[in-house]
Protein backbone atom coordinates (compact mmCIF):
# COMPACT_ATOMS: atom_id res chain seq x y z
CA UNK A 1 0.00 0.00 0.00
CA UNK A 2 1.30 3.44 -0.94
CA UNK A 3 2.43 5.48 2.07
CA UNK A 4 0.30 8.53 2.72
CA UNK A 5 1.76 12.04 2.59
CA UNK A 6 2.33 13.22 6.17
CA UNK A 7 1.23 16.82 6.78
CA UNK A 8 1.74 19.28 9.63
CA UNK A 9 -0.76 22.17 9.70
CA UNK A 10 0.59 25.44 11.14
CA UNK A 11 -1.90 28.28 11.65
CA UNK A 12 -2.62 30.58 14.58
CA UNK A 13 -6.38 30.28 13.98
CA UNK A 14 -7.97 27.28 15.70
CA UNK A 15 -10.86 27.43 13.20
CA UNK A 16 -8.47 27.39 10.24
CA UNK A 17 -6.48 24.48 11.69
CA UNK A 18 -9.65 22.48 12.22
CA UNK A 19 -11.03 23.23 8.74
CA UNK A 20 -7.76 22.34 7.03
CA UNK A 21 -7.34 19.12 9.03
CA UNK A 22 -10.93 18.07 8.35
CA UNK A 23 -10.67 18.83 4.64
CA UNK A 24 -7.32 17.12 4.11
CA UNK A 25 -8.41 14.05 6.07
CA UNK A 26 -10.98 13.33 3.36
CA UNK A 27 -8.14 12.51 0.96
CA UNK A 28 -7.02 8.88 1.47
CA UNK A 29 -3.50 9.75 0.27
CA UNK A 30 -2.96 12.38 3.01
CA UNK A 31 -2.48 12.00 6.76
CA UNK A 32 -2.52 15.07 9.02
CA UNK A 33 0.03 14.05 11.64
CA UNK A 34 -0.12 17.22 13.70
CA UNK A 35 -1.20 20.84 14.13
CA UNK A 36 0.59 23.85 15.60
CA UNK A 37 -0.63 27.31 16.55
CA UNK A 38 2.78 29.02 16.39
CA UNK A 39 6.19 28.42 14.88
CA UNK A 40 7.87 27.42 18.14
CA UNK A 41 5.56 24.47 18.68
CA UNK A 42 5.76 23.77 14.94
CA UNK A 43 9.55 23.46 15.18
CA UNK A 44 9.30 20.77 17.87
CA UNK A 45 6.63 18.86 15.98
CA UNK A 46 8.69 18.90 12.79
CA UNK A 47 11.51 17.15 14.66
CA UNK A 48 9.33 14.51 16.31
CA UNK A 49 6.62 13.95 13.67
CA UNK A 50 8.83 14.23 10.55
CA UNK A 51 6.09 15.49 8.19
CA UNK A 52 6.58 15.36 4.43
CA UNK A 53 4.78 18.67 3.88
CA UNK A 54 3.96 21.66 6.08
CA UNK A 55 1.07 24.08 5.46
CA UNK A 56 1.97 27.49 6.87
CA UNK A 57 0.15 30.73 7.53
CA UNK A 58 2.77 33.49 7.29
CA UNK A 59 0.95 35.86 9.67
CA UNK A 60 1.79 34.27 13.03
CA UNK A 61 2.28 35.60 16.58
CA UNK A 62 5.86 35.98 17.75
CA UNK A 63 8.20 34.83 15.01
CA UNK A 64 6.34 35.11 11.69
CA UNK A 65 6.21 32.39 9.06
CA UNK A 66 8.81 34.01 6.81
CA UNK A 67 11.50 34.24 9.47
CA UNK A 68 10.58 30.68 10.48
CA UNK A 69 11.17 29.52 6.91
CA UNK A 70 14.55 31.24 6.76
CA UNK A 71 15.63 29.43 9.91
CA UNK A 72 13.92 26.12 9.11
CA UNK A 73 15.15 25.40 5.60
CA UNK A 74 18.91 25.19 6.33
CA UNK A 75 18.36 22.80 9.29
CA UNK A 76 15.25 20.81 8.33
CA UNK A 77 14.53 21.15 4.60
CA UNK A 78 10.81 20.53 4.16
CA UNK A 79 8.23 21.16 1.45
CA UNK A 80 6.23 24.12 2.74
CA UNK A 81 2.98 25.37 1.20
CA UNK A 82 1.90 28.84 2.25
CA UNK A 83 -1.83 29.24 2.88
CA UNK A 84 -2.39 32.99 2.70
CA UNK A 85 -5.28 35.45 2.54
CA UNK A 86 -6.07 36.89 -0.90
CA UNK A 87 -5.17 40.47 -0.05
CA UNK A 88 -2.42 42.75 -1.30
CA UNK A 89 -0.52 42.43 1.97
CA UNK A 90 -1.16 38.69 2.15
CA UNK A 91 0.11 38.28 -1.41
CA UNK A 92 3.22 40.32 -0.70
CA UNK A 93 4.02 38.21 2.35
CA UNK A 94 3.35 34.99 0.43
CA UNK A 95 5.86 36.04 -2.23
CA UNK A 96 8.41 36.72 0.51
CA UNK A 97 7.74 33.20 1.78
CA UNK A 98 8.42 31.74 -1.68
CA UNK A 99 11.70 33.66 -1.72
CA UNK A 100 12.49 32.21 1.71
CA UNK A 101 12.05 28.62 0.50
CA UNK A 102 8.34 27.74 0.34
CA UNK A 103 7.43 25.58 -2.67
CA UNK A 104 3.92 26.85 -3.36
CA UNK A 105 1.12 29.15 -2.28
CA UNK A 106 -2.63 28.56 -1.96
CA UNK A 107 -5.14 31.36 -1.46
CA UNK A 108 -7.17 31.22 1.77
CA UNK A 109 -10.79 32.38 1.36
CA UNK A 110 -12.99 33.74 4.13
CA UNK A 111 -14.19 31.12 6.61
CA UNK A 112 -17.73 32.26 5.72
CA UNK A 113 -17.24 31.32 2.05
CA UNK A 114 -18.29 27.68 2.15
CA UNK A 115 -17.83 26.94 -1.55
CA UNK A 116 -14.56 28.83 -1.66
CA UNK A 117 -13.27 26.81 1.28
CA UNK A 118 -14.26 23.55 -0.38
CA UNK A 119 -12.42 24.50 -3.58
CA UNK A 120 -9.38 25.65 -1.61
CA UNK A 121 -9.15 22.41 0.36
CA UNK A 122 -9.37 20.31 -2.80
CA UNK A 123 -6.65 22.43 -4.40
CA UNK A 124 -4.53 22.30 -1.25
CA UNK A 125 -4.74 18.49 -1.17
CA UNK A 126 -3.49 18.27 -4.76
CA UNK A 127 -0.69 20.79 -4.12
CA UNK A 128 0.39 18.85 -1.02
CA UNK A 129 0.75 15.63 -3.01
CA UNK A 130 2.76 17.51 -5.62
CA UNK A 131 4.92 19.26 -3.02
CA UNK A 132 5.84 15.91 -1.43
CA UNK A 133 7.77 15.13 -4.64
CA UNK A 134 9.65 18.45 -4.73
CA UNK A 135 13.42 18.66 -4.26
CA UNK A 136 13.44 21.41 -1.66
CA UNK A 137 17.25 21.53 -1.62
CA UNK A 138 16.91 23.65 -4.77
CA UNK A 139 14.80 26.26 -2.95
CA UNK A 140 17.41 27.96 -0.79
CA UNK A 141 16.43 31.34 0.69
CA UNK A 142 17.08 34.05 -1.88
CA UNK A 143 19.78 36.64 -1.35
CA UNK A 144 19.05 40.33 -1.74
CA UNK A 145 17.94 41.32 -5.23
CA UNK A 146 20.72 41.96 -7.69
CA UNK A 147 20.51 44.24 -10.72
CA UNK A 148 20.12 42.66 -14.13
CA UNK A 149 23.42 41.20 -15.33
CA UNK A 150 22.69 42.09 -18.96
CA UNK A 151 21.56 45.36 -20.51
CA UNK A 152 21.95 44.82 -24.25
CA UNK A 153 22.34 41.93 -26.67
CA UNK A 154 25.39 41.53 -28.86
CA UNK A 155 23.14 40.60 -31.78
CA UNK A 156 19.76 42.38 -31.71
CA UNK A 157 16.83 39.95 -31.95
CA UNK A 158 14.85 39.94 -35.16
CA UNK A 159 11.56 41.78 -35.38
CA UNK A 160 8.21 40.21 -34.51
CA UNK A 161 9.67 37.46 -32.35
CA UNK A 162 7.89 36.24 -29.21
CA UNK A 163 9.26 34.60 -26.06
CA UNK A 164 6.84 32.38 -24.09
CA UNK A 165 7.60 30.93 -20.65
CA UNK A 166 5.58 28.53 -18.50
CA UNK A 167 6.17 27.40 -14.91
CA UNK A 168 4.55 25.96 -11.80
CA UNK A 169 6.12 24.65 -8.54
CA UNK A 170 9.47 26.39 -8.05
CA UNK A 171 8.76 28.66 -10.99
CA UNK A 172 8.93 32.00 -9.20
CA UNK A 173 12.57 31.35 -8.32
CA UNK A 174 13.34 30.07 -11.83
CA UNK A 175 11.69 33.01 -13.57
CA UNK A 176 13.42 35.52 -11.31
CA UNK A 177 16.78 33.96 -12.16
CA UNK A 178 16.07 34.21 -15.89
CA UNK A 179 14.77 37.78 -15.78
CA UNK A 180 17.78 39.03 -13.85
CA UNK A 181 19.93 37.81 -16.76
CA UNK A 182 17.86 39.12 -19.69
CA UNK A 183 18.56 42.44 -21.46
CA UNK A 184 16.03 45.25 -21.62
CA UNK A 185 15.87 45.13 -25.44
CA UNK A 186 14.07 41.77 -25.52
CA UNK A 187 11.14 41.01 -27.81
CA UNK A 188 7.77 40.68 -26.01
CA UNK A 189 7.67 37.97 -23.32
CA UNK A 190 4.51 36.13 -22.25
CA UNK A 191 4.49 34.19 -18.97
CA UNK A 192 2.19 31.71 -17.28
CA UNK A 193 3.08 30.97 -13.66
CA UNK A 194 0.51 28.89 -11.79
CA UNK A 195 -0.59 31.26 -9.02
CA UNK A 196 -3.88 32.56 -7.57
CA UNK A 197 -5.37 36.00 -8.35
CA UNK A 198 -3.65 39.00 -6.71
CA UNK A 199 -0.50 36.90 -6.21
CA UNK A 200 0.29 37.12 -9.94
CA UNK A 201 0.09 40.90 -9.84
CA UNK A 202 2.46 41.09 -6.89
CA UNK A 203 4.83 38.62 -8.56
CA UNK A 204 4.88 40.69 -11.76
CA UNK A 205 5.64 43.82 -9.74
CA UNK A 206 8.53 42.08 -7.97
CA UNK A 207 10.00 40.93 -11.31
CA UNK A 208 9.63 44.47 -12.65
CA UNK A 209 11.75 45.86 -9.81
CA UNK A 210 14.56 43.37 -10.40
CA UNK A 211 14.70 43.35 -14.19
CA UNK A 212 15.72 45.74 -16.94
CA UNK A 213 12.43 44.88 -18.63
CA UNK A 214 8.97 46.28 -17.91
CA UNK A 215 7.04 43.43 -16.29
CA UNK A 216 3.38 43.63 -15.31
CA UNK A 217 0.26 41.53 -14.95
CA UNK A 218 -1.57 41.29 -18.26
CA UNK A 219 -4.86 43.05 -18.91
CA UNK A 220 -7.21 41.89 -21.66
CA UNK A 221 -6.29 43.74 -24.86
CA UNK A 222 -2.70 44.59 -23.90
CA UNK A 223 -0.66 45.26 -27.05
CA UNK A 224 2.73 43.58 -27.27
CA UNK A 225 5.94 45.57 -27.74
CA UNK A 226 9.65 45.05 -27.31
CA UNK A 227 10.85 45.35 -23.73
CA UNK A 228 7.48 44.34 -22.24
CA UNK A 229 6.79 41.12 -20.33
CA UNK A 230 3.22 40.15 -19.40
CA UNK A 231 2.31 37.70 -16.64
CA UNK A 232 -1.02 35.90 -17.05
CA UNK A 233 -3.44 37.04 -14.31
CA UNK A 234 -4.46 34.46 -11.72
CA UNK A 235 -7.66 32.55 -12.64
CA UNK A 236 -7.53 33.82 -16.26
CA UNK A 237 -6.18 32.13 -19.35
CA UNK A 238 -3.94 34.34 -21.49
CA UNK A 239 -3.81 33.91 -25.28
CA UNK A 240 -1.76 35.57 -27.99
CA UNK A 241 -3.93 36.94 -30.81
CA UNK A 242 -3.45 39.08 -33.89
CA UNK A 243 -6.13 41.68 -34.54
CA UNK A 244 -5.85 44.24 -37.37
CA UNK A 245 -2.17 43.31 -37.80
CA UNK A 246 -1.53 44.07 -34.11
CA UNK A 247 -0.27 41.44 -31.66
CA UNK A 248 -2.07 41.53 -28.32
CA UNK A 249 -3.23 39.27 -25.51
CA UNK A 250 -6.73 38.20 -24.64
CA UNK A 251 -7.60 37.04 -21.12
CA UNK A 252 -10.64 34.88 -20.45
CA UNK A 253 -12.19 32.43 -18.01
CA UNK A 254 -12.60 29.44 -20.30
CA UNK A 255 -12.59 26.07 -18.48
CA UNK A 256 -9.37 24.93 -16.83
CA UNK A 257 -6.84 23.01 -18.90
CA UNK A 258 -4.67 20.36 -17.20
CA UNK A 259 -6.38 21.51 -14.00
CA UNK A 260 -5.08 25.06 -14.33
CA UNK A 261 -6.26 28.56 -15.16
CA UNK A 262 -4.06 30.16 -16.35
CA UNK A 263 -2.77 27.21 -18.35
CA UNK A 264 0.60 27.03 -20.08
CA UNK A 265 -0.93 24.83 -22.80
CA UNK A 266 -3.46 27.55 -23.63
CA UNK A 267 -0.75 30.21 -23.95
CA UNK A 268 1.69 28.01 -25.87
CA UNK A 269 -1.05 26.76 -28.21
CA UNK A 270 -1.98 30.33 -29.13
CA UNK A 271 1.69 31.25 -29.61
CA UNK A 272 2.07 28.30 -31.99
CA UNK A 273 -0.88 29.49 -34.07
CA UNK A 274 0.04 33.19 -34.17
CA UNK A 275 3.84 33.32 -33.96
CA UNK A 276 4.87 29.89 -35.27
CA UNK A 277 8.55 29.84 -36.26
CA UNK A 278 9.08 33.31 -34.71
CA UNK A 279 8.54 31.93 -31.21
CA UNK A 280 11.10 30.86 -28.59
CA UNK A 281 9.47 28.99 -25.71
CA UNK A 282 10.68 27.36 -22.52
CA UNK A 283 8.88 25.14 -20.03
CA UNK A 284 10.21 25.40 -16.48
CA UNK A 285 9.93 23.45 -13.24
CA UNK A 286 6.51 22.16 -12.19
CA UNK A 287 4.37 19.12 -11.47
CA UNK A 288 2.07 17.55 -14.06
CA UNK A 289 2.04 18.00 -17.81
CA UNK A 290 0.64 21.48 -18.42
CA UNK A 291 2.59 23.04 -21.28
CA UNK A 292 3.96 19.85 -22.84
CA UNK A 293 1.41 19.70 -25.66
CA UNK A 294 1.61 23.44 -26.24
CA UNK A 295 5.41 23.30 -26.49
CA UNK A 296 5.12 20.48 -29.01
CA UNK A 297 2.68 22.59 -31.05
CA UNK A 298 5.20 25.45 -31.15
CA UNK A 299 7.99 23.11 -32.22
CA UNK A 300 5.85 21.63 -34.98
CA UNK A 301 5.33 25.16 -36.32
CA UNK A 302 9.09 25.71 -36.42
CA UNK A 303 9.54 27.58 -33.13
CA UNK A 304 12.50 26.93 -30.86
CA UNK A 305 11.58 24.99 -27.73
CA UNK A 306 13.48 24.38 -24.49
CA UNK A 307 12.77 22.78 -21.13
CA UNK A 308 14.51 23.07 -17.77
CA UNK A 309 16.72 20.10 -16.92
CA UNK A 310 16.10 17.71 -14.04
CA UNK A 311 19.15 18.70 -12.03
CA UNK A 312 17.98 22.32 -11.63
CA UNK A 313 14.20 21.70 -11.47
CA UNK A 314 12.43 21.71 -8.13
CA UNK A 315 9.92 19.35 -9.74
CA UNK A 316 10.87 17.71 -13.03
CA UNK A 317 7.29 17.01 -14.08
CA UNK A 318 6.26 19.47 -16.78
CA UNK A 319 9.76 19.59 -18.35
CA UNK A 320 9.97 15.77 -18.37
CA UNK A 321 6.63 15.51 -20.18
CA UNK A 322 7.80 18.02 -22.80
CA UNK A 323 11.05 16.13 -23.30
CA UNK A 324 9.37 12.74 -23.59
CA UNK A 325 6.70 13.89 -26.06
CA UNK A 326 9.26 15.61 -28.29
CA UNK A 327 8.15 19.15 -27.50
CA UNK A 328 11.53 20.18 -26.08
CA UNK A 329 14.55 20.12 -28.38
CA UNK A 330 16.95 20.55 -25.46
CA UNK A 331 17.05 20.29 -21.66
CA UNK A 332 18.73 23.35 -20.16
CA UNK A 333 20.18 24.05 -16.69
CA UNK A 334 18.54 27.08 -15.09
CA UNK A 335 21.79 29.04 -14.95
CA UNK A 336 22.07 28.75 -18.75
CA UNK A 337 18.41 29.40 -19.57
CA UNK A 338 18.76 33.11 -20.41
CA UNK A 339 21.80 32.44 -22.63
CA UNK A 340 20.00 29.67 -24.52
CA UNK A 341 16.92 31.83 -25.07
CA UNK A 342 19.06 34.68 -26.38
CA UNK A 343 21.02 32.34 -28.66
CA UNK A 344 17.83 31.10 -30.30
CA UNK A 345 16.48 34.61 -30.73
CA UNK A 346 19.67 35.47 -32.61
CA UNK A 347 19.34 32.51 -34.98
CA UNK A 348 17.28 32.52 -38.16
CA UNK A 349 13.82 31.09 -37.44
CA UNK A 350 13.33 27.48 -38.50
CA UNK A 351 11.07 26.72 -41.42
CA UNK A 352 7.39 26.48 -40.64
CA UNK A 353 6.42 22.91 -39.84
CA UNK A 354 9.95 21.68 -38.99
CA UNK A 355 10.17 19.30 -36.02
Out of 91, 168, 206, 312, the active site residue is 168
Q: CB under 8 Å to 313, separation ≥6 — which residues?
A: 135, 138, 170, 284, 285, 319, 334
194 noted as active-site residue: yes
Out of 11, 91, 194, 222, the active site residue is 194
312 noted as active-site residue: no
Nearest in space to 126 (alpha carbons), one of 312, 317, 308, 309? 317
Within 10 A of 355 (CB to CB), how many other CB atoms are there?
A: 12
Look at residue 281 and give its three-state secondary structure.
Answer: strand
Q: How far apart are CA 193 and CA 171, in angstroms?
A: 7
113 noted as active-site residue: no
Q: How far apart are CA 345 and CA 59, in angstroms?
A: 43
Q: Which residues pair with 250 in a beta bridge?
A: 239
Out of 290, 309, 312, 313, the active site residue is 290
Nearest in space to 297 (alpha carbons), one of 269, 325, 333? 269
Look at residue 33 and give its three-state secondary structure.
Answer: strand
Measure Cα distances from 330 to 294, 299, 304 in Å.
16, 12, 9
- Active-site residues: which are they? 168, 194, 290
Amino acid sequence: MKARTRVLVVDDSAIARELIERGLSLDPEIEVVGKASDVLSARDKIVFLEPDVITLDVEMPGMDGIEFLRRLMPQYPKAVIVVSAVTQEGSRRALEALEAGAVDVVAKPSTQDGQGLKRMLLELAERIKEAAKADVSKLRPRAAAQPSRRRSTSRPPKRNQIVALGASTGGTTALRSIFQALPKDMPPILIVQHMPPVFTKMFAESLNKESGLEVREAVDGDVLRDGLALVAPGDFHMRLVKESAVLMVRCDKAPKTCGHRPSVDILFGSVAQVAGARAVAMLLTGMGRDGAEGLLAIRRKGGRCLAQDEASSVVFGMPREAWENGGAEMLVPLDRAADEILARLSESPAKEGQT
